């Protein structure tokens, strides 16, 4: 692994500061984690700040290891400004797709309840109070109910969406680089590894949003996919316009 580059180092420090701060002051999650837009706790800055919040030591350790490993290689070729622009863009793209998918399924559940005599304002008010009506379970499937209540009451944290953007860019630039993983004894080329994990995220994402009749995994799979998609589209644009050959110093 090459030496840690300047922006990667700064992002690592910021993430660690946020993590330590959130452990010392748990209420910080209410301000810096990202809430669902219809939740009154949602704030305009949360699509940015949630990227620096993490749910546990393993969560931040994995993300930071991946950021240092892949981010340093990309910053080395792109320069600091271009790398930071890419990283933040992928994080925002992750938040956008995650929120968009959740909004679609949330509204679908709301429409089901309204069609069966419930008032939307009353439903949202109950959710805002941290309560649920158990009769909703008679109209929604198990996974719909879990997704519906979890979307409104839950939060999103982590740099994973931005990290998936870095993984996609790395595979785009170094498709034949072999990646060795602890749980897979044989190295896998980046061009196979990245599509593979994205396919798993796609399956688990839809599985957790009722299409396959099962509950969620507690992981923001569509945020991963949003970060990867944003990264892929940016790489295509840069390749077409030859921007990927220029450093932004």
pLDDT of residue 247: 60
Is residue 167 pLDDT above 70, yes or no?
yes
Confidence label for 201 from pLDDT (cuts 50, 70 and 90): confident
Average pLDDT on 155-182 reads: 88
Confidence label for 212 from pLDDT (cuts 50, 70 and 90): very low
Q: Between the CA of residue 158 and those of 70, 111, 223, what are the distances in Å?
A: 17, 31, 10
Is residue 162 pLDDT above 80, yes or no?
yes
How does pLDDT run across 48-101, given as a tens digit for each residue?
A: 999 999 999 999 999 999 999 899 999 999 999 999 999 999 999 999 999 998
Is residue 208 pLDDT above 50, yes or no?
yes
Confidence label for 214 from pLDDT (cuts 50, 70 and 90): very low
Confidence label for 37 from pLDDT (cuts 50, 70 and 90): very high
pLDDT of residue 202: 82
C-alpha span between 140 and 99 (Å, rounded):
20
> Which distant-in-sequence residues (6+ apart) come within 8 Å of 228 by Cβ?
90, 164, 165, 167, 168, 194, 198
Is residue 194 pLDDT above 60, yes or no?
yes
Is residue 215 pLDDT above 50, yes or no?
no
Confidence label for 190 from pLDDT (cuts 50, 70 and 90): confident
> Which distant-in-sequence residues (6+ apart) come within 8 Å of 214 by Cβ?
142, 143, 207, 208
Average pLDDT on 206-228 reads: 64
C-alpha span between 175 and 182 (Å, rounded):
20
Average pLDDT on 37-57 reads: 94
Average pLDDT on 199-220 reads: 60
pLDDT of residue 222: 85
Mean pLDDT in the chain?
87
197 or 158, which is more confident? 158
Helices vs strands, H then E, count in the chain: 11, 4
217 or 8, which is more confident? 8
pLDDT of residue 235: 94
């Amino acid at each position: 692994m090459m030496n840690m580059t300047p922006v990667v180092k700064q992002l690592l420090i910021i993430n660690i500061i946020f993590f330590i701060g959130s452990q010392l002051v748990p209420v910080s999650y209410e301000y810096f984690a990202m809430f669902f837009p219809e939740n009154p706790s949602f704030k305009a800055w949360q699509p940015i700040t949630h990227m620096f919040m993490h749910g546990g030591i393993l969560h931040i350790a994995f993300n930071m290891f991946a950021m240092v490993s892949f981010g340093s290689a990309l910053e080395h070729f792109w320069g600091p400004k271009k790398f930071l622009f890419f990283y933040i863009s992928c994080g925002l793209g992750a938040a956008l797709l995650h929120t968009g998918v959740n909004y679609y399924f949330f509204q679908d559940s709301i429409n089901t309840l309204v069609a069966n005599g419930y008032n939307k304002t009353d439903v949202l008010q109950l959710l805002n109070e941290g309560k649920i009506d158990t009769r909703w379970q008679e109209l929604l499937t198990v996974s719909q109910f879990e997704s519906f209540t979890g979307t409104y009451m839950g939060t999103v944290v982590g740099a994973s969406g931005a990290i998936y953007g870095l993984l996609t860019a790395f595979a785009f630039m170094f498709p034949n680089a072999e990646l060795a993983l602890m749980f897979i004894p044989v190295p896998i080329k980046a061009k196979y590894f990245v599509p593979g994990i994205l396919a798993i995220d796609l399956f688990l994402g839809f599985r957790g949003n009722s299409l396959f009749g099962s509950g969620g995994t507690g992981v923001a799979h569509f945020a991963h996919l949003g970060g990867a998609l944003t990264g892929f589209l940016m790489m295509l644009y840069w390749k077409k316009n030859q921007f990927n050959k220029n450093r932004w110093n």
